[in-house]
Structure 1
Amino acid sequence: MTEQIRSAVVGTGYFGRFHANHYAQNPRARLVAVVDTDQARARAVAQEFGAEPAFDYRDILGRVDAVSVAVPTPGHYAIARDLIEAGVHVLVEKPITDSVESADALTALAEARGTVLQVGHIERFSAAYRTLAGIISEPLYFESYRIAPWKERGVEVDVVLDLMIHDIDMIIGLVGSPVSKVDAVGTPVLGRRIDLANARITFESGCIANVTASRVSYKTERRMRVFAHNHYLSCDLGERRISGYRLRGDPMTVGLAAIEQQTHEIPQEDSLANEIDAFLDCIANGTKPLVDGHAGCEALRVASMINESIDEQLKRVQGRFDAGAGAASG
């Protein structure tokens, strides 16, 4: 057996605990430490998975080869930067950072240092994405819906960076073409940041995606519909079902017999386990991550375009409100 990769997790909250669990279970890795400024939480997670607790990520430098960064998004850049500068391979949770500029800088630093930088866009490691990627060819139109009940976790960023970015990254990967234009609307509902958003994304290939995300709902739903030449697919990511139709003949001459109904079973897999195993594989074999820094930067760039479009829309709405209020008072 090859030597195990010394691993650690920085941030032992909701996602960080899952990362620690998978490093502890993966035979390629040896979980050395878990790090959190909340000392009680760090100790609890460390004890659960047989690792050492630490309270400052700088204390593990020189002792580990690979680290998952699972702290809130505003802390991603500084922590990942220091780890990469120390020669540590980094898996940073999505989004890569909270600005395109810092994401670009982090990607360039990892390339200069020769370290693996993988971004935790977990849907790319799901069986559903792998199945869709094997079916879809030259897509024309996407519709995606990702809605969830309100939770306190994740509200340090807006719904675009919290939820919608999953579908942004999936669709970018499936289309394989640069984004040329974005039009979006959105609004805060329960929080101070945008909680509901809808975006129309246009790609240079001509493909268009209509993407909706909300964290103000009574239910959790993750659905995607894909239209291509002679092909339609409906994917329920939550229920792991893909169904659709494919044209096999001329419906004008043979009628409904020309339309073949299809169903595709999505295997039950742990996407985070796949993600972490892929990260460790890149370290062991010197290969490029499926979702590298550049992919993380592109997803963040598109998300930023969406937020800029939403900001412009909200300013127009506020301007009309102010004008109406002024007229009424006059």
Structure 2
Amino acid sequence: MAEQPRIKVAVVGAGHFGRFHCDQYSSNPRAELVAVIDADIARAGAVAAEFGGKPGQDYRSLIGRVEAVSIAVPTPYHFEVARELIDAGMHVLIEKPITDKLDDAHHLTRLAEEHKSVLQVGHIERFSSSYRALAKTITQPLYFECYRIAPWKERGIEVDVVLDLMIHDIDIVLGLAGSPVWKVDAVGTPILGKKIDMANARITFESGCVANVTASRVSYKTERRMRVFQRQSYIVCDLAEARIFAYHLRGDPAVLGIGAIATESYDIPKENSLANEIDEFLDCIATGRQPVVDGRAGSEALRVASMINDSIEDHLRRIGAHLPAPA
């Protein structure tokens, strides 16, 4: 059987995440990294020298040169860059969130469907071994408790903490709950920046399942933890450490007492989540199948995030607090 030609790819945005994308493309046998694009040509040149491809400043120069592009520019520029490249017939992997405006997310989704282009959104937790382990264990969830905190960093502060951090857990619970979102109640506040830095949301699904989700980027440590309650079991997943603690009912407590509860603790074999995500993107291009996190899934995560931010703003108005004016 003849070897398939490598897919010509480029990365737009050579910052923190863009560099990781270049690394994965350069080591994936399905891909040929052709170009690295960044507004800072020196940064593009440094990343290209490390991983291959030619540096450039204008993403439009990729039209006709590559088949697929990773977009790792700041979120406010996702729509502009993705729209032009999809319109030119390219396949696009956009770092999360898909955009910062829901109408723009729907526009990109429709455009990709019209052009039969692969549109994948970089919700990287869906490609982690931890998520896969949870997906095999969870059947009828009743309650999620998600906790994602991190120290303050200047990177990512162009968006609020809901779009920066919480959206990971929004996407996870959407993938695991298996039910449409009914309503959202949320609170949050700016702390060190001009946008919301800490938020807590209660997401209620039509099934009756509830997710209590907390995110903060003002912490002395990094923690990513999820607790899941369902009939006859309780599961704790440390997403950062790839470890699961679980309690399962295996008999009648009235007869067996504490012996009716089985406990287990195990480490999940770690995988490179970004490598899995990019391999999925390349496979979808090669086979024509839809990504696990396509434009519709990315748009739904953004829709719920928007509901949370609307609820936060409503709460701030009711208590007489206000977000800082833009600089």
Work out the CA distance in 1 between the residues paired with 2:7 and 2:148.
Answer: 35
Q: 1:152 and 2:154 equivalent?
A: yes
Cα deviation code 1:13-61 (max 9, x no counterpart): 0000000000000000000000001010011111111210010000011
Q: Which amino acid aligns with 2:81?
A: I
Q: Secondary structure at the match of 1:245?
A: strand
Q: Secondary structure at the match of 1:37?
A: coil
Q: 1:285 and 2:281 equivalent?
A: no
Q: Which residue of 1 aligns with 2:204?
A: 202
Q: Secondary structure at the match of 1:191?
A: coil
What are structure 2's unaligned runs of at least 5 residues? Answer: 323-327
Q: Which amino acid aligns with 2:160?
A: D
Work out the CA distance in 2 between the residues paired with 1:182 and 1:53.
Answer: 44
Cα deviation, residue 319, structure 1? 6.7
Work out the CA distance in 2 between the residues paired with 1:112 and 1:81.
Answer: 12
Picking from 272, 275, 287, the partner of 1:273 is: 275
Q: Which residue of 2 aligns with 1:299?
A: 301
Q: Which amino acid aligns with 1:14?
A: H
Q: Which amino acid aligns with 1:123?
A: E
Scaled by the length of structure 1, what TM-score is found? 0.96
Q: Which residue of 1 aligns with 2:325?
A: none
Q: 1:317 and 2:325 equivalent?
A: no
Q: 1:56 and 2:39 equivalent?
A: no
Picking from 121, 124, 133, the partner of 1:119 is: 121
Instruction: Give me the CA root mean square deviation.
Output: 0.9
Q: 1:263 and 2:270 equivalent?
A: no
Q: Which residue of 2 aligns with 1:326?
A: none
Q: Which residue of 1 aligns with 2:172?
A: 170
Cα deviation code 1:271-293 (max 9, x no counterpart): 00000000000000111100000
Work out the CA distance in 2 between the residues paired with 1:264 and 1:101.
Answer: 43
Q: Which residue of 2 aligns with 1:239?
A: 241
Q: Secondary structure at the match of 1:318?
A: coil
* Percent of pairs with identical residues: 67
Q: Which amino acid aligns with 2:192?
A: L
1:39-188 equivalences in 2 (<5 Å):
39-188=41-190
Q: Secondary structure at the match of 1:157?
A: coil
Q: Which residue of 1 aligns with 2:36?
A: 34
Work out the CA distance in 2 between the residues paired with 1:83 and 1:138.
Answer: 40
Scaled by the length of structure 2, what TM-score is found? 0.97
Work out the CA distance in 1 between the residues paired with 2:44 and 2:57.
Answer: 7
Work out the CA distance in 1 between the residues paired with 2:105 and 2:193.
Answer: 26
Work out the CA distance in 2 between the residues paired with 1:25 and 1:170.
Answer: 28
- The count of corresponding residues between Structure 1 and Structure 2 is 320
What are structure 1's unaligned runs of at least 5 residues? Answer: 321-330
